């Protein structure tokens, strides 16, 4: 199963979703990308994910055009649909999670926890 998480900068939200999906979606190929990638994973995202026991420091920020040519089984837009172009997939969801980019650690933690809940729900629905 190929799972893709999209957001605008691929620096925070989609990176956190990718990290949680690697934990909860065993056996799935999980990637993330952005419509306008920042080019790095935000240090605060790395920090709050480490607090949750997940290391995303090795993940890389990338654009949609840099994705391998895969057929996506699941495509999740973590931000709003307006911020990300359509990527074909068998199943689509939009989570519309707030962007913590310029926020403090408390906001990053809140966003992290919201994303974890979404990923757990997604994992329960998928085969």
Which of the residues 16, 17, 48, 79 is marked catalytic? 79
| Residue pLDDT, tens place only, 65-113 | 999 999 999 999 999 888 888 899 999 999 999 999 999 999 999 999 9
Which of the residues 6, 77, 84, 119 is marked catalytic? 84
pLDDT at 84: 83
pLDDT at 2: 98
| Residue pLDDT, tens place only, 22-37 | 999 999 999 999 999 9
79 counts as catalytic: yes
Hey, what domains does the chain have and what are their CATH numbers? 2-121 (3.40.50.2300)
Which of the residues 3, 7, 16, 54 is marked catalytic? 7
12 counts as catalytic: no
- Give me the phi and psi of 11, to 5 degrees please: -120, -25
> pTM for the complete prediction?
0.96
Determine which helix (DSSP H) or strand (DSSP E) holds 105, and give its type and residue range.
helix 105-125
Q: What is the spatial distance between Cα 119 and Cα 36, in angstroms, rounded to a whole number?
A: 23
């Amino acid at each position: 199963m190929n799972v893709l998480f999209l957001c605008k900068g691929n620096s925070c939200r989609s990176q956190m979703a990718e990290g949680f999906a690697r934990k909860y979606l065993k056996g799935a190929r999980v990637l993330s990308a952005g419509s306008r990638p920042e080019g790095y994973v935000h240090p605060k995202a790395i920090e709050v994910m480490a607090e949750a026991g997940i290391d995303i420091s090795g993940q890389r920020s990338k654009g949609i055009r840099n994705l391998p040519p895969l057929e996506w089984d699941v495509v999740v837009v973590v931000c709003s649909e307006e911020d990300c172009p359509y990527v074909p997939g068998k199943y689509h969801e939009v989570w519309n999670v707030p962007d913590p980019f310029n926020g403090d650690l408390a906001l990053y933690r809140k966003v992290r926890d919201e994303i974890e809940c979404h990923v757990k729900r997604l994992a329960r629905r998928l085969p």
